Amino acid sequence: MFAHLIQDPAAVKNYIENPASGKAVETDYFGQLTSLASTFDHVDNLFYFTYAVCIFFFVLITGVLAWTVVVHRRKTYDQPAASNTTHNTPLEVVWTVVPLIIVMVMFAWGFKGSLDMMTVPADARMYKASAKQWNWTFSYPNSVAQSYGELWLEVDKPAAFLLESTDVLHAFFMPSQRIKRDIVPGRYQTVWCQPTVLGEFHLFCAEYCGDDHSKMYAKVHVVSAEEYAKKPWDVWKDDTPANQIASAQKLYSALCSSCHTVNGTQLVGPSWTGLFVKDASGKIVGGQREVHVGGAAGPKQTITVDDAYIIESIKLPEAKKVVGFEAAAMTAFDLPENKVKGLIAYMMSLADSK
Amino acid sequence: MSTNVPAVDLHAAPTGERPKNYLNCTTSFMSWAGTLDHKRIGLMYLVGVSIAFLCGGVFALLVRIHLWEPHGMLFSNSGYNQLFTLHGAFMVFLFVIPAIPASLGNMVLPLMLGAKDVALPRLNLLSFYLWVGGAAFATYSIAAGGFDTGWTFYTPYSLYTNKAVVSIGLGIFLLGFSSIFTGLNFIVTTHKLRAPGMTWFRMPLFIWALYATAILQVLATPVLGITVLLVAFERLYHIGIFDPRLGGDPVLFEHFFWFYSHPAVYIMVLPAFGIISEMVSVHSRKPLFGYKLIAFSSLAIAVISFLVWGHHMFTSGQSTYAMFAFSFLTFFVAIPTAIKQFSWVATVWKGSIALNSPMLYTLAFLIIFAIGGLTGIILGALNVDIHLHDTYFVVAHFHYVMMGSIALAFFAGLHHWWPKMFGIMYNETLAKIAAVTIFIGFNATFVPQFIMGSQGMPRRYATYVPEYAPYHQASTIGAIILGSGVALMVFYLLASLFTGKKAMVNQWGGVTLDWHTPTPPPLENFETPPVVTHEVYDYSTLDVETTRTPLR
């Protein structure tokens, strides 16, 4: 009954073989925050100002406590208190007014900073980030290609993101840029940043979104203007049969691999091996699958896998559910036609491996 | 009106054979299960919330052990998500919210007021059984497939997931009524049943805190009840309130949820403040510094806490004006809290400071709550919160308040009133060792979480990028130390019931009315109705010798 809660060794193997890591977190001078790679330095400044104030009050409180506990420890059972003062009006006014002034400074500073973070500059490039369980798709201004689980930004150039979700809440979180914004299905949200450091950075989903929330990851490449002009995301293009399969393989890693393996082990969803097989003459043909037609409760039927079945399963996962995976809830993917074709070609290429 | 019939006939003529105390006056099962005595109900609550706490603690340890490795050690992702949800839901709804008011508060509030019982004893018993019902639903939900929404139940995920969300929702609905009834009872009791001479400003501060809490419980909890019912209706009948596919708004759910759950933070923490106010006074043998300011700051917090819920949603896309107001009020609520902290320290200052186990837990509270409160200020700043929101920094911050402050205040109160409740004293040496172990373990668990949170580690992750591994491992080691401290505490407290020595007549030298009854108290608390003639915390009236007189 609880077997599905226990970790599957196949998932660990899959995780180790497909690590989600970009580069190691480099910390700033004080070792507390991730090193800043954006123009939002007011976040770090206010963080450290508040931090210093906190340390001051913490040392004050614990210092006073420690001193009095040591000195005025009760040594005999009938020892009375050394002082019975219950009021000191000047002191009470001071410890009400001084913290009030300090927190009002923090409030104003923080509010000003957040206005900066909410005001998208006019010259910002507008990207689109589509979130769904559990992956990211990015679209670029003036470019047809989309990238999956990978994003390229130009250094020192403001980048704004139009955020959309097609299923549940997600959040767009780039620690190195200090930005985060919840992505609410049914609404568009906007967030912006200006990367200042070349390198590879993390993009996390920060709002809990279901089973593979922790694997909803994208790697952000911040590149120079020359590099950016070459449109590095074109590696996701699939204009020739050869790079069609290579591109589909990348797509598989980004979108599909957290639920489907290509080596026969079963994760949340069925493995892709056996979708297509080779017949006696070596020709690739569709394999057999037992499915529920019309949803998990529907009648069982054995079908022969073909392009139509694959396309349907990507766009309408509930239409035919594989027997044994009734509980798995796959989200629908609205992929461009050439991407779907590429994935089918990739699935067919797996027929060789068996 | 004859609704508040007490447990026994108050007007019965006194006979020679009075029952000895509330524990042994009657012994049948029904005399406990059907009791109207606030102390027995408090004791049953104590057993219940302690079991919930230990379950939640085991879930927490499993979570921490799982996170030893970046790819996770024990559970599937789905299994992990259910586990952290269980940890949160058990700790918040079954332990932290009811723990202090319903167990220690129930036990002590009528004693401190000089009353025979709470004003509405039957409602008190009903409140307990609603808690049991809620706990039963929560346990049933585990068997019925678990729930994996996080304790926050954010829509639309909680509408789409194929888990037992409806049954846990009904459990929370029942627990909400349990909480409302306790609050209602305390308000009425405080207004109506104060002993002669007990003016409002002679009430112990624990009563003030419970009173402020009760106002929040009665006003805020219905919103939670309505919200979980709407989620249940949405799941069952697809009415389209929160589901964007049906034209609903997920952010509306967040507003409803935090409109309860932020005041709920103060429902949890105000009683803890009350206990600490008692502890610093008794164990320093000194009147509280700034009594009235502490009392009014409880009420101020109760009022302002209704107006800051939006600070849980700074990244949800609220309007600029909403952000402005919520951030401002969040900083503002820090002030009454700071006043309390300073007043406690000033109370301890130059007292006669007894380093017994309740005081060790209290000192641990003062240090931990300083960190918990101060890191809250870091999170109140709008631009900084955008970076830290939903990371382990937030996790560490609220554990410093929920676990490090509230649970430790609960432990302080438990150790303080344990000899009062049972007439038995636990092993003080073991208690001190446990207090220090818990303090060390707690900090070792959550300091690394502050660091990795500010470096960007998101919360609720079953797996994580490998560079956070050292912090996770340090945190796991801390959790094991913390867990062993708690295990030791459970051991010596239970052991004391079987082998413990008799407590003193007035174990700590308290002067509030709860120490003016026999120990353990008789069924109706006071042999003669008390009349209050002194200010509260007037230690000049203390007969110090009673602190060294063992019970017969």
What would the pLDDT profile of B137-174 be if each residue is shown by its tens digit? 999 998 888 889 999 999 899 998 888 889 999 999 99
Structural domain that includes position B437: 7-13+32-277+285-547
What would the pLDDT profile of A33-85 be if each residue is shown by its tens digit? 888 889 999 999 999 999 999 999 999 999 999 999 999 999 998 888 988 88
Inter-chain CB proximity B456 and A25 less than 8 Å:
yes
> Which of B286, B316, B331 lies nearest to residue A84, judging by beta carbons?
B286
CB count, 10 Å around CB of A296? Answer: 15
Of residues A285, A327, A280, the one with CA closest to residue A309: A285
> Which of B161, B285, B315 lies nearest to residue A171, judging by beta carbons?
B315
Distance, in Å, from the CA atom of B418 to the CA atom of B507, rounded to the nearest integer, reads: 10
Which segments of B259-396 are extended strands (E)? none
What would the pLDDT profile of B33-77 be if each residue is shown by its tens digit? 999 999 999 999 999 999 999 999 999 999 999 999 998 889 988
B342 vs A: CB within 8 A = yes
Is B24 within a domain? Answer: no
* Distance in Å, alpha carbon of A184 to nearest chain B alpha carbon: 7
Q: Do the Cβ atoms of B124 and B36 come closer than 8 Å?
A: yes
Q: Which helix (H) or strand (E) holds A137?
A: strand A135-139
The DSSP secondary-structure symbol of A254 reads I
Inter-chain CB proximity A186 and B350 less than 8 Å:
no
Arithmetic mean of pLDDT over chain B: 91
- CATH no. for residue B500? 1.20.210.10
CB count, 10 Å around CB of B191? Answer: 11
Is B242 within a domain? Answer: yes
- Mean pLDDT, residues B96-119 taken together: 95
Tokens of B517: 């009854």
> Which of B77, B348, B380 lies nearest to residue A211, judging by beta carbons?
B77
CA distances for B254 relative to A139, B91, B154, B260, B318, angstroms:
29, 20, 7, 10, 11
Inter-chain CB proximity B456 and A64 less than 8 Å:
no
Distance, in Å, from the CA atom of A326 to the CA atom of B78, rounded to the nearest integer, reads: 15
Interface residue of A64, A180, A215, A326 to substitute, partner B, most B CBs within 10 Å:
A180
Is B312 within a domain? Answer: yes
> Which of A95, A186, A204 lies nearest to residue B339, judging by beta carbons?
A95
Q: Do the Cβ atoms of A275 and A310 come closer than 8 Å?
A: yes
Residues 6+ apart with CB under 8 A from A63: none
Q: Which residue of B has its CA nearest to A20?
A: B465
Distance, in Å, from the CA atom of B213 to the CA atom of B205, rounded to the nearest integer, reads: 12
CB count, 10 Å around CB of B319? Answer: 9
Residues 237..296 of A with a Cβ closer than 8 Å to B: which?
268
> Which of B73, B317, B353 lies nearest to residue A184, judging by beta carbons?
B317
Tokens of A87: 């009021």
Is B26 within a domain? Answer: no
Q: Do the Cβ atoms of B274 and B508 come closer than 8 Å?
A: no
Handedness of CA A276, A279, A284, A286 (dihedral sign): negative
Q: Do the Cβ atoms of A169 and A209 come closer than 8 Å?
A: yes
Q: At B276, is the pLDDT very low, low, confident or very high (cuts 50, 70, 90)? A: very high
- Mean pLDDT, residues A264-274 taken together: 84
Tokens of A66: 């420690």
Predicted pLDDT at B7:
38
- Chain B residues whose beta carbon lies within 8 Å of the beta carbon of residue A268: 78
Distance, in Å, from the CA atom of B217 to the CA atom of B175, rounded to the nearest integer, reads: 11
CB count, 10 Å around CB of B479? Answer: 23
B546 vs A: CB within 8 A = no
For chain A, what is the radius of gyration of the CA atoms?
Answer: 28
Alpha carbons within 13 angstroms on the beta-carbon side of residue B3 total 8
Query: Cα torsion for A304, A308, A313, A315, to the nearest 10°?
Result: -170
Is B37 within a domain? Answer: yes
Q: Do the Cβ atoms of A169 and A205 come closer than 8 Å?
A: no
Distance, in Å, from the CA atom of B53 to the CA atom of B48, rounded to the nearest integer, reads: 9
Q: Do the Cβ atoms of B369 and B401 come closer than 8 Å?
A: yes
* Distance in Å, alpha carbon of A120 to nearest chain B alpha carbon: 14
Q: Which helix (H) or strand (E) holds B365?
A: helix B357-380
Distance, in Å, from the CA atom of B463 to the CA atom of B76, rounded to the nearest integer, reads: 10
Reply yes or no on whether the pLDDT at B537 is more than 60.
yes
Distance, in Å, from the CA atom of B443 to the CA atom of B370, rounded to the nearest integer, reads: 13
How large a percentage of chain A has pLDDT more than 90? 43
Residue in the structure block whose two tokens are 């008799």 = B502
Predicted pLDDT at B543:
85
Inter-chain CB proximity A186 and B456 less than 8 Å:
no
Inter-chain CB proximity B387 and A181 less than 8 Å:
no
Alpha helices, DSSP H only, in chain A? 9-17, 41-71, 89-118, 225-229, 241-251, 307-315, 337-349
Of residues A269, A267, A255, the one with CA closest to residue A328: A269
* Distance in Å, alpha carbon of B371 to nearest chain A alpha carbon: 7
Q: Do the Cβ atoms of B313 and B253 come closer than 8 Å?
A: no
- Mean pLDDT, residues B405-422 taken together: 96
Reply yes or no on whether the pLDDT at B90 is more than 50.
yes
How large a percentage of chain B has pLDDT more than 70? 97
Q: Which residue of A has its CA nearest to B351?
A: A81
Q: At A184, is the pLDDT very low, low, confident or very high (cuts 50, 70, 90)? A: very high
Chain centroid to Cα B272, Å, comes to 7
Q: Do the Cβ atoms of A44 and B455 come closer than 8 Å?
A: no
Inter-chain CB proximity A12 and B72 less than 8 Å:
yes
Q: How far apart are the first and last CA of chain B?
A: 41
* Distance in Å, alpha carbon of A218 to nearest chain B alpha carbon: 12
Kindly provide the ipTM of the predicted complex, given to two decimals. Answer: 0.90
Q: Do the Cβ atoms of B541 and B42 come closer than 8 Å?
A: no
| Residue A238 or residue A292, greater confidence | A292
β-strand partners of A201: A220
Interface residue of B74, B285, B352 to substitute, partner A, most A CBs within 10 Å:
B352
Distance, in Å, from the CA atom of A182 to the CA atom of B520, rounded to the nearest integer, reads: 54
Reply yes or no on whether the pLDDT at A230 is more than 70.
yes
* Distance in Å, alpha carbon of B383 to nearest chain A alpha carbon: 5
Tokens of B13: 């003529």
A29 vs B: CB within 8 A = no
B32 vs A: CB within 8 A = no
Tokens of A334: 């609205």
Q: Do the Cβ atoms of B192 and B87 come closer than 8 Å?
A: no
Inter-chain CB proximity B456 and A173 less than 8 Å:
yes
Of A324-338, B406-420, B455-469, the least confident: A324-338
Q: Which residue of A has its CA nearest to B384?
A: A43
- Across the A/B interface, how many CB contacts are shorter than 8 Å? 315
Distance, in Å, from the CA atom of B46 to the CA atom of B108, rounded to the nearest integer, reads: 12
Q: Do the Cβ atoms of B524 and B117 come closer than 8 Å?
A: yes
A178 vs B: CB within 8 A = yes
Alpha helices, DSSP H only, in B38-149? 38-66, 77-89, 97-98, 106-113, 121-143
Interface residue of A55, A204, A208 to substitute, partner B, most B CBs within 10 Å:
A208
Residue in the structure block whose two tokens are 């009683």 = B271
β-bridge pairing A146-148 and A170-174 = unpaired
Q: At B548, is the pLDDT very low, low, confident or very high (cuts 50, 70, 90)? A: confident
Is B552 within a domain? Answer: no
pTM across the whole model = 0.90
Inter-chain CB proximity B250 and A206 less than 8 Å:
no
Q: Do the Cβ atoms of B187 and B122 come closer than 8 Å?
A: no
The DSSP secondary-structure symbol of B70 reads T
B320 vs A: CB within 8 A = yes
Reply yes or no on whether the pLDDT at B3 is more than 50.
no
Inter-chain CB proximity B460 and A214 less than 8 Å:
yes
Is B22 within a domain? Answer: no
β-strand partners of A159: A125, A193
Of residues A186, A168, A63, the one with CA closest to residue B149: A168
Q: Which residue of A has its CA nearest to B82?
A: A5
Alpha carbons within 13 angstroms on the beta-carbon side of residue A117 total 28
Inter-chain CB proximity B384 and A110 less than 8 Å:
yes
Reply yes or no on whether the pLDDT at A352 is more than 70.
no
- Residue B423 is which amino acid? G
Distance, in Å, from the CA atom of A134 to the CA atom of A213, rounded to the nearest integer, reads: 6
Q: Do the Cβ atoms of B521 and B21 come closer than 8 Å?
A: yes
Distance, in Å, from the CA atom of A254 to the CA atom of A267, rounded to the nearest integer, reads: 16
Inter-chain CB proximity A215 and B77 less than 8 Å:
yes
Is B202 within a domain? Answer: yes
Q: Do the Cβ atoms of B123 and B99 come closer than 8 Å?
A: no
A3 vs B: CB within 8 A = no
Reply yes or no on whether the pLDDT at A21 is more than 60.
no
A16 vs B: CB within 8 A = yes
Q: How many domains does chain B have?
A: 1
In chain A, how many H helices and how many E strands? 7, 15
Of A296-305, B18-27, B153-162, B487-496, the least confident: B18-27
A70 vs B: CB within 8 A = no
What would the pLDDT profile of A208-229 be if each residue is shown by its tens digit? 999 889 989 999 999 999 999 9
Q: Which residue of B has its CA nearest to A80?
A: B352
Inter-chain CB proximity A175 and B286 less than 8 Å:
no
- Chain B residues whose beta carbon lies within 8 Å of the beta carbon of residue A4: 76, 78-79
Q: Which residue of A has its CA nearest to B460?
A: A208
- Chain A residues whose beta carbon lies within 8 Å of the beta carbon of residue B380: 103, 106-107, 110
β-bridge pairing A217-223 and A150-154 = parallel
The 8 Å CB, 24+ separation contacts for A298-304 are none
- Residue B159 is which amino acid? L
- Chain B residues whose beta carbon lies within 8 Å of the beta carbon of residue A51: 378
Q: At A259, is the pLDDT very low, low, confident or very high (cuts 50, 70, 90)? A: confident
What would the pLDDT profile of B291-329 be if each residue is shown by its tens digit? 988 888 888 888 898 999 999 999 988 888 999 999 999
Inter-chain CB proximity A207 and B154 less than 8 Å:
yes
Inter-chain CB proximity A62 and B332 less than 8 Å:
no
Distance, in Å, from the CA atom of B407 to the CA atom of B400, rounded to the nearest integer, reads: 10
Query: Cα torsion for A79, A82, A86, A88, to the nearest 10°?
Result: -170
Chain centroid to Cα B338, Å, comes to 20
CB count, 10 Å around CB of A17? Answer: 10
For chain B, what is the radius of gyration of the CA atoms?
Answer: 23
- Chain A residues whose beta carbon lies within 8 Å of the beta carbon of residue B284: 81
Inter-chain CB proximity B351 and A77 less than 8 Å:
no
Predicted pLDDT at B180:
96
Inter-chain CB proximity A15 and B463 less than 8 Å:
yes
Reply yes or no on whether the pLDDT at A339 is more than 90.
no
